[in-house]
Amino acid sequence: MPSAGSPAETLSVEVWRGRDEGRFERFSVPHRASQTVLDVVTWIQRHAEPALAYRFACRVGVCGSCAMTVNGRPRWTCRTHVSKVAADGHLRIEPLRNLPRIKDLAVDLAPFFEKWQRAQGRFTPSRTRYDGLAEVNPDAPARKAVDAGIECINCAVCYAACDVVSWDDEYLGPAALNRAWTLVNDARDADRKGVLRAASRGGGCHTCHSHGSCVEHCPVGINPTAGIAGLKRMSLLALLGRGPE
Amino acid sequence: MRIEHLDTDILILGSGGAGLFAALHAVQANPDLEVTVASKGLLGKSGCTRMVQGGYNVALDPADSLERHFMDTIVGGKWLPRQDLAWRLVEGAVERVRELENELGCFFDRNPDGSLHQKAFAGQSFDRTVHKGDLTGIEIINRLMEQVWARDIKRLEEHRAVALIPAADGSGLAGVLMVDIRTGGYRLARAKAVLLATGGGPTMYRFHTPSGDKSCDGMAMALRAGLALRDMEMVQFHPTGLLAGPDTRMTGTVLEEGLRGAGGWLLNGDGKRFMAAYDRAGERATRDVVSRSIYAEMRAGRTTSMGGVYIQMSHLGPQDVAKRFPGMVTRCADCGFDLAGGRVEVVPTAHYMMGGVEFEIDCTTALPGLFAAGEDCGGVHGANRLGGNGVANSTVFGGIAGEEMAAYVAREGAWKDPDAAALDAGIVRAERPYGLKPGDLGALRERLLGLMWDEVGILRTEVGLCRGLEGLAALEAELGETGLADGDRAFNLTWHDWLNLESQIAVSKVIATAALAREDSRGAHFREDFPLTGDLDTTRFTRVIAIDGADLALDMVPVAFTTVRPGESLIDGDAGAPQTVIP
């Protein structure tokens, strides 16, 4: 492992090793002009620590497998250029916050997806495969609201960034509620009332403190806080008998 | 060696479009079945369905027809597809797209009047590609994942299949030996029916597009289990993969075709446009032509500093480019490149394997109890896959497999005793690196990727393919002497890198063997020593098997023109020619 060289040529990288108990190990990694944080982690696995555990798949920011905490912030590592986060040549890489740890940099995303389901984050059909497709005006306001939130890749960066999630185990979190928001706005969904109920009971939208950490960290620019505010509003209107059909 | 045991009715290997559709359709067919999905990564997050940018081909417009979609597929596949499979694909796509929209909740882009938008895509005589912006795959897989999570379907995430284990009585498949990646332990899952849906993915080439977890494990296991692979010489290259330099995972990933369609230029290392010298259509020529042309420039040494060519968009106006291709521009920017205003280095990149396991229209294989669907399979696409037919293939046949497996389990499903010798052999194989002196696995991988790129890549010759086969034999021997330190096996990616290499080398040998046998050029396969396409009427496909799991044997099998013969057509006008100019 190269240890000589100026800071410009070498990155000093601290990596979490272990599970809940563990330590940071320091590695010197060659700095390159084109280099993402995932490339740094890969270099360590390939050249310095073969047993280093981390997760990645698509390499281009569509699968959401490779999120980690980088210098204190949750990020996709595959699309985070080193120069953006390590101006001083130093990186500290840890597993995502708010999720059970498996080993080193890999966490268990099951609780995140279980909460997605608890928010009824799934479509309820009103038609079948034997029917034609619904006519949907792409410019209708409800449809626009769906479009604004639908490109979530469930990477859990928002979930790791959210302080309310870290205080309150029951809180469903920004991604699950964002999905619920897209469903209550989807005219094709046959159980929008059910989604609203699931998303507004204990641990649901009313638990959000609107800190906006999710908005600040979402790698695809989604605004879950706005969707959650929409759910809050809609659940209050539902009490007045003016909720979704 | 300690092995955990598990019995399930249906075991599905892979959680892309094929695997998840199979799971849903199996439990829809019979809710009492226990269905288990095993995935090398996280459910729905590994594999390539999620990465689909283009869209989903389906003949829905009254002016379009199944016949037209079928003819485009056959002509695009250079008469090599198995015609009954191609017909099942185009027919099944109609129902499947409706299911995706109506039952799973995918929302595909609409026209202003609320009807479905279908866009033009290369090689098709009708604008039939259904899409969600340029992130169609995310929409499809997210909606599938939610439905699978919502049901009582068992998940074995981060489980890597290492061997198909036959029944002791020789009656078919008993189950699958896996490594639980998280613990590093072994798990034998017995199942009454198993689906192979791990996806192909030509990741053994220096530049490649698929998800980084793919390594042709499914095809390698099938080969070892005695199944035949067909059309394996047919590896599709995409012309413009990002070139980001050594040790970058991003290298090879796709910069979309629309960039060239919109008027993007390709420039060689001297900064000169070169496509016009190769094809009248210039940068807008088809994928295979552009890939070969770029490769020829590279071979002539007219390259950029990193060894590729440039793509330039800035003459179209950087702001317009940023607006029109936000995904691509941001992706490049994240890696430090300015696609809108500057030049980005690109190379052709291995994208998709048209070949794979021979399977039947009901997704059965020659091994009773083993079903197959998706990119693990060969015969649907022939010599070339149309953009938009890939996700149609995985979802159509995945759904069929789910129904057929449920029926099979009801009819003749039973848990079988596994063949003890096969189980032992599977474990011995997976254990091999731990008994060997640690070596430089990374260097071995680089050499495999380089060898396949140089000798079994875009332009092929007999001499080069023979060098390739010799090199692969040498690499295989070397891998057999390269080990890794034992100790912490939990989530040990380097162990899996070793196993990946073993699968990749096994399948690379099949690709090279088939490429050497095909002495003509068609579709994705180009032989410089046989540059012309052979007689279509006597078209034959390659079929490779491994005798006793080792030595390869190849047959050239005549294609049965069951629906239409070369020279005939089911439609008026030309198949394969775009109806409108691709934007």
Distance CA B461, CA B451 (A): 14
Contact B336 A33 (CB under 8 A): yes
- Residues 6 or more apart whose CB falls under 8 angstroms from that of B260 comprise B239, B240, B266, B283, B284, B290, B311
Contact B245 A128 (CB under 8 A): no
Q: What percent of chain B has pLDDT over 90?
A: 90
Overall domain count for chain B: 2
**Phi, then psi, of B517 in degrees rounded to 5:** -75, -30
- pLDDT tens per residue across span B191-219: 999 999 999 999 999 999 999 999 999 99
Does a structural domain hold residue B382? no
**Residue B386: which of B141, B77, B150 has the closest Cα?**
B77
Name chain B contacts of A32, Cβ cutoff 8 Å. 245-248
**Nearest CB to A122: which of B108, B137, B146?**
B146
Does a structural domain hold residue B43? no
- pLDDT tens per residue across span B87-146: 999 999 999 999 999 999 999 999 999 999 999 888 889 999 999 988 899 999 999 999
Does residue A5 surpass a pLDDT of 80? Answer: no
Closest Cα of chain A to B417: distance in Å? Answer: 33
A vs B, Cβ pairs < 8 A, gives 203
Where does the pLDDT of residue B582 fall: very low under 50, low under 70, confident under 90, or very high at 90 and above? Answer: very low
Tell me the average pLDDT of chain B.
95
- pLDDT tens per residue across span B309-329: 999 999 999 999 998 888 889
Name chain B contacts of A34, Cβ cutoff 8 Å. 244-245, 248, 250, 335-337
Region A4-11: mean pLDDT is: 64
Closest Cα of chain A to B344: distance in Å? Answer: 12
- Shared domain for B527 and B429, answered yes or no, is yes
DSSP class per residue in B255-316:
PPTHHHHTT-EEE-TTS-B-GGGT-TTGGGS-HHHHHHHHHHHHHTT---TTSSEEEE-GGG
**Phi, then psi, of B575 in degrees rounded to 5:** -80, 155
Which of B159, B190, B260, B381 is flagged as catalytic? B260
Name chain A contacts of B93, Cβ cutoff 8 Å. none
Does residue A67 surpass a pLDDT of 60? Answer: yes
Closest Cα of chain A to B160: distance in Å? Answer: 14
Region B464-493: mean pLDDT is: 96
Tokens describing residue B377: 């399979």
Name chain A contacts of B491, Cβ cutoff 8 Å. 53, 102-104, 106
Does residue B250 surpass a pLDDT of 90? Answer: yes
Name chain A contacts of B492, Cβ cutoff 8 Å. 50-51, 53
CATH number at residue B484: 1.20.58.100
pLDDT at site B277: 96
Interface test with A, best of B28, B39, B42 (most A CBs within 10 A): B42
What CATH number should be reported for the domain whose range is A10-107?
3.10.20.30
pLDDT at site B574: 85
Closest Cα of chain B to A131: distance in Å? Answer: 7
Interface test with B, best of A38, A54, A133 (most B CBs within 10 A): A133
Contact B98 A51 (CB under 8 A): no
Does residue B430 surpass a pLDDT of 90? Answer: yes
Q: What range defines the domain where residue B520 resides?
A: 422-537
Structure letter (DSSP) for residue A183: H
pLDDT at site B575: 87
Closest Cα of chain A to B432: distance in Å? Answer: 16
**Whether B238 is catalytic:** yes
- pLDDT tens per residue across span B445-456: 999 999 999 999
Of B293, B327, B350, which marks where a domain is finished? B350
Tell me the average pLDDT of chain A.
94
Q: Given the DSSP bridges, would you call strands B118-119 and B129-130 parallel, antiparallel or unpaired?
A: antiparallel
pLDDT at site B193: 98
- Residues 6 or more apart whose CB falls under 8 angstroms from that of B163 comprise B176, B177, B221, B224, B225, B422, B423, B425, B426, B429, B430
Residue of A nearest to B60 (CA): A132
Name chain A contacts of B334, Cβ cutoff 8 Å. 36, 61, 79-81
What pTM value is reported for the model? 0.97
Name chain B contacts of A132, Cβ cutoff 8 Å. 98
Where does the pLDDT of residue A8 fall: very low under 50, low under 70, confident under 90, or very high at 90 and above? Answer: low
- pLDDT tens per residue across span B517-535: 999 999 999 999 999 999 9
Which of B25, B68, B238, B292 is flagged as catalytic? B238
- pLDDT tens per residue across span B172-193: 999 999 999 999 999 999 999 9
pLDDT at site B576: 81
Contact A103 B491 (CB under 8 A): yes
**Whether B324 is catalytic:** no
**Nearest CB to B42: which of A80, A109, A132?**
A109
Distance CA B218, CA B201 (A): 10
Distance CA B228, CA B223 (A): 7
Region B272-281: mean pLDDT is: 94
| Runs of H (alpha helix) within A137-212 | 141-149, 157-161, 163-167, 174-184, 192-200
**Residue B221: which of B422, B468, B17 has the closest Cα?**
B422
Closest Cα of chain B to A2: distance in Å? Answer: 15
Name chain B contacts of A83, Cβ cutoff 8 Å. 336
pLDDT at site B327: 85
Tokens describing residue B254: 């796709």
Does residue B72 surpass a pLDDT of 80? Answer: yes
pLDDT at site A241: 83
CATH number at residue B259: 3.90.700.10
CATH 3.10.20.30 placement within chain A: 10-107
Q: CA angle, B245 as apex, B329 and B48 as ends, to 5°?
A: 60
Region A141-167: mean pLDDT is: 97
pLDDT at site B73: 96
Tokens describing residue B197: 């849906």
ipTM of the complex: 0.96
Spell out the CATH class of A110-239: mainly alpha
CATH 1.10.1060.10 placement within chain A: 110-239
Identify the helix (H) or strand (E) that includes residue B74: helix B66-76
Region A190-219: mean pLDDT is: 97
Residue of A nearest to B345 (CA): A34
pLDDT at site B578: 61
Distance CA B531, CA B528 (A): 5
Region B238-259: mean pLDDT is: 93
**Nearest CB to A61: which of B248, B331, B492?**
B331
Region B18-27: mean pLDDT is: 98
Contact A151 B138 (CB under 8 A): yes
Region B493-499: mean pLDDT is: 97
Q: What percent of chain B has pLDDT over 70?
A: 99
Whole-number Cα distances in Å, B31 to A132, B35, B193, B408, B484: 26, 9, 16, 15, 44
Does a structural domain hold residue B471? yes
